[in-house]
């Protein structure tokens, strides 16, 4: 049952936090991030995924994408920055990150930032999503009064 599951996760988290003071601390990060995600503690989960990204270069992009996905629940500005970092990595998550970054910038009414970011991000946007991004670009240009 769900109550039992929550109790087990809380107990596991407590054990992992004790291990943070030992040489095994790095091995507990992913599990802790997943538990915090289960409990909807988005900021703690995100911070652990960022930490994992800095420690594991092979999975850096994947961990950053996880972090950004949790950040957008509580800290959209940081999520936008994290998605931008992923775009700069030009890896397999670049397309999703570029779309999410531009979408968030537009939603947050950061039109000038949208205009600046779209140059770098557009090459990663899937063709079927380009009309929406072009619409956002046009509206952003209109909002900023930048018609040329």
Q: What is the pLDDT of residues 111-130, one digit of tens each?
A: 999 999 999 999 999 999 99
Tokens, residue 102: 């531009």
What is the predicted pLDDT for the residue at 147? 64
Sign, Cα dihedral of 66, 6, 17, 77 = positive
Q: Each residue of 31-79: pLDDT tens digit?
A: 999 999 999 999 999 999 999 999 999 999 999 999 999 999 999 999 9
The whole-model pTM stands at 0.90
Residue 146 predicted with pLDDT over 90: no
Tokens, residue 15: 């054990």
């Amino acid at each position: 049952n769900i109550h039992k599951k929550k109790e087990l996760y809380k107990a596991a988290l407590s054990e992992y936090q004790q291990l943070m003071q030992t040489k095994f601390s790095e091995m507990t990060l992913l599990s802790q991030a997943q538990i915090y995600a289960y409990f909807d503690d988005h900021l703690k989960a995100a911070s652990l995924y960022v930490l994992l990204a800095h420690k594991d270069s092979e999975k850096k992009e994947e961990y950053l994408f996880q972090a950004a996905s949790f950040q957008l629940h509580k800290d959209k500005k940081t999520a936008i920055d994290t998605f931008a970092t992923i775009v700069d990595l030009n890896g397999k998550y670049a397309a999703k990150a570029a779309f999410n970054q531009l979408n968030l910038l537009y939603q947050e009414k950061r039109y000038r930032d949208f205009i600046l970011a779209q140059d770098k991000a557009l090459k990663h946007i899937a063709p079927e999503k380009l009309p929406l991004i072009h619409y956002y670009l046009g509206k952003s240009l209109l909002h900023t009064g930048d018609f040329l």
